[in-house]
Structure 1
């Protein structure tokens, strides 16, 4: 099952889970998730799922679903993750110290029912994932499966909905609300401390295969920017994405990226070299004037996850760079 059928191969490799597997743990798993009345029922895109008792062995199939689980004190027995963290147990630096007991098994590629069944889960969380109905049906024979909320797109579930869905499945809805409030307060504090962001335009962009993907607010990276007070440049906002989470731009269309700031997710040497060598990009005023921020790998990861755990990490690293860039922009740009 292709997880993002609409993605070009280069962007697919840059965004999705290509992580390495480890062996399944021998211990009986983490302590019970508990905390609320069971059974609980969670509504989602494929109907509803009832979890009969507090789960003790949770598999996180969504690429960032481990973060809210860990924030709620539950270490998954298996997880999917972005490829950049395949050598670190599938977790970003903002989440690694939350692991309790045996580290999770890292799952790669499309969901493998046999591999997942071998972990003996009593709950499968696939909120930030591209699960389709047939795969959901197969996995539901292994354990209760919680998919993305109805009305959301694959890999496009906002932080609040992701956290609330997972917290409800664990019987910890109130704790989930507290985590959402903390993340929203962190963004609010950043906006209050940086009023220069208000009304400014900015885009997060990923270079791939000689082209660029400008993320809209249907994506975690785009929502990170809007949560800070930025809006998309008009040229990007007007591009028809076909319901996708990004606008694909060839060289002749790079002028639409011009705004007050540009966040370029070129954290790999080859990507950075391609960006630096692109003569068309270098002529776009936001780049020519030194208002392009190039992120490192962990800032890219934290922004891409945009979870209750990664938000403070991303804000600490990115906000000062955005502020410096915006202050170079002409008034009313």
Structure 2
């Protein structure tokens, strides 16, 4: 069963408002400029409110900035050839400034940004240079911390209340879906999340997709249940003999056309063919029941922000409604 791609705070930061005078107190002088002081993964940064020329250095940053009503002037390229279909079309107005792994500092500087958003995980080594270009705010990591990250972005964009509102709305929606599934007798469905790649096969435990499944109140198979959510690895790479760990009442298989391209000695299509032709795969209960569901990887994994989270909830609603 294939789901079509969707078109479509809590935060631990410390926030203090300060006023920076931009002129004298005589009549006709400019009004003071409000600024926010943001404590983040790399220290403390003062940002003048409200940033208008924002550069985002990651998928989650781009996703959530757009969801907060701000169109970045600069973004790093998506992981696929085209922009993710669930994102607002306004993302196409932004200039691409390199990749998430290798942002182009010269291109970023040319845009004269007044705020740069990134993550310590991806760009710690570039923080000093980026900070010389514009006020720069980093989250600690990506993936599992996406909701906390929305709070950081919202504060840096001087939209802290809006950030809280969109996360609270998402959480309420996820909770409502969980209640609906329980009422329909589907609340105990064990969800497995997998991804085939040309050179490896992954099971997602926590991370971004795991957190959305968790927020919807859906359980995971025992083999995919972690003891400590905060410290667990977000995903595991497995070998063929560990195929039984992929099983669940339903297996959501993340797919992306771009990943069918040749990488190394085989394509992902060949990888899938090899694994799914084994007896171990054929004997999975979800396979026997016809409950392996293809889902858009850009929603379930690559986007990593509040927009993708809501699109993933929509996928869950569609699947479970069709399974009744």
TM-score (norm 2): 0.75
Contact 2:208 2:304 in 1 (8 A): yes
Shift of 1:277: 4.2
Structure 1 match to 2:166: 179
* Distance in structure 1 (CA, Å) of the matches to 2:70 and 2:132: 23
Per-residue displacement from partner, 1:126-167 (whole Å, max 9, x unpaired)? Answer: 1496222x3112211111111114xxxx32253321211111
Distance 1:94 1:294, change over 3 A: closer
* Distance in structure 1 (CA, Å) of the matches to 2:143 and 2:71: 23
Contact 1:128 1:162 in 2 (8 A): no
Is the radius of gyration larger for structure 1 or structure 2? 2
Q: Does 1:54 align with 2:50?
A: yes
Distance 1:267 1:99, change over 3 A: closer
1:131 paired residue among 117, 123, 135: 123
Q: How many residues align?
A: 276
Identify unmatched segments of 5+ residues in structure 2.
1-32, 261-266
* Distance in structure 2 (CA, Å) of the matches to 1:292 and 1:83: 24
Q: Does 1:190 align with 2:177?
A: yes
1:220 paired residue among 204, 208, 213: 208
Alignment partner of 1:185: what SS?
helix
Alignment partner of 1:125: what SS?
strand
RMSD: 2.8
Identify unmatched segments of 5+ residues in structure 1.
1-36, 328-333
Distance 1:274 1:157, change over 3 A: closer
TM-score (norm 1): 0.73
Alignment partner of 1:65: what SS?
helix
Structure 1 match to 2:317: 319
Structure ranking higher in strand proportion:
2
* Distance in structure 2 (CA, Å) of the matches to 1:240 and 1:71: 30
Shift of 1:273: 5.5
Contact 2:65 2:153 in 1 (8 A): yes
* Distance in structure 1 (CA, Å) of the matches to 2:306 and 2:228: 30
Contact 1:49 1:144 in 2 (8 A): yes
Contact 1:204 1:214 in 2 (8 A): yes
Shift of 1:58: 0.4
Distance 1:197 1:169, change over 3 A: farther
Distance 1:223 1:323, change over 3 A: farther
* Distance in structure 2 (CA, Å) of the matches to 1:63 and 1:310: 10
